[in-house]
Each structure stands twice: as C-alpha cells, then as structure tokens.
Amino acid sequence: MKNSQILVCISRVLFPFVLVFGFYVIVNGHLTPGGGFQGGAILATAILITYFIIPERINIIDGLVRLEKHLFLWIIVVGSLSLITKGTFFTNPLPIPAAISFKRIFLVLLNFLIGSKVAIGLVAIFSSFIEEGRS
C-alpha cells in the first residue's frame, strides 16, 4: 500500500504534538475537563497516526491485549487501596488531613492507568480490524 507523501509528512509532524497533548490531558485531568479516558483516546490517535507512516508497525495484538489486562488489574489494585485504609472502594486512600498535593497523586495515578488502558485498548481494536481487513 502506497501512502501519500503529504499524509506521511503531516503525520510525522503531528505525532509528537498529539502525544504531548494526550499526556497533558491525562496529567491535568483532575483539574480540567478530561482525564484518563479522553487522554487515552488522544494517545491512541497519536499511536494510530504512525500506522499511516509505517503500516507494518501495528501487528502485535496479543501483546497489547495482555498489557491491557495487566493495566486493568493495576486499576483494581490501586482502587482497592482505599478499601484497606478507609473501608470504601475507589476513594482516595490518604487520610483527610493529608496535604492536597499528596491527594492529587492518587487522581493522577488513576488517570494515567485509565488513559494507558484506553489507549492500548483502542489500538488493539483498530489493529484487529486491520488484520481482519487483510485476510
């Protein structure tokens, strides 16, 4: 499959900006609208942009699915920390009088895990569609 040189050039220029914007949305998800899911979708877009540059790059579906399952388990583990400390599920495990900067760490960590899971999941779905189309 021959790609347009304009598409390849624009994809190479846009890739780092979309990647940085996706991480920005994930990291600042506790302060602004957005967060893990929206940032993960943006990261998936950045990863899928590389498909237009090098189509052979996305062919590791099994590894992506395995990594996505591990990320899901980590989300459950991080969410369960508050079950141990406070007796409720998916709340901040730190005590109430803790500094606000320490409380943000929990939200950023959950946003990062969710964003990574969403990005990998969307790339795996798109990759499987590509593989089905080739067969």
Residues 28-79 have pLDDT tens digits of 887 777 788 999 999 999 988 887 777 666 667 778 889 999 999 999 998 8
Question: What is the predicted pLDDT for the residue at 58?
Answer: 61
**pTM exceeds cut of 0.75:** yes
What percentage of residues in the chain have a pLDDT greater than 70?
Answer: 93
Q: Are 3 and 81 in contact (CB under 8 A)?
A: no
For 79-98, what is the mean pLDDT? 80
**Average pLDDT across the chain, whole number:** 84
Task: Provide the domain count of the chain.
Answer: 1
- Residue 106 belongs to domain spanning: 5-134
CA–CA separation, 49 vs 55, rounded Å? Answer: 10
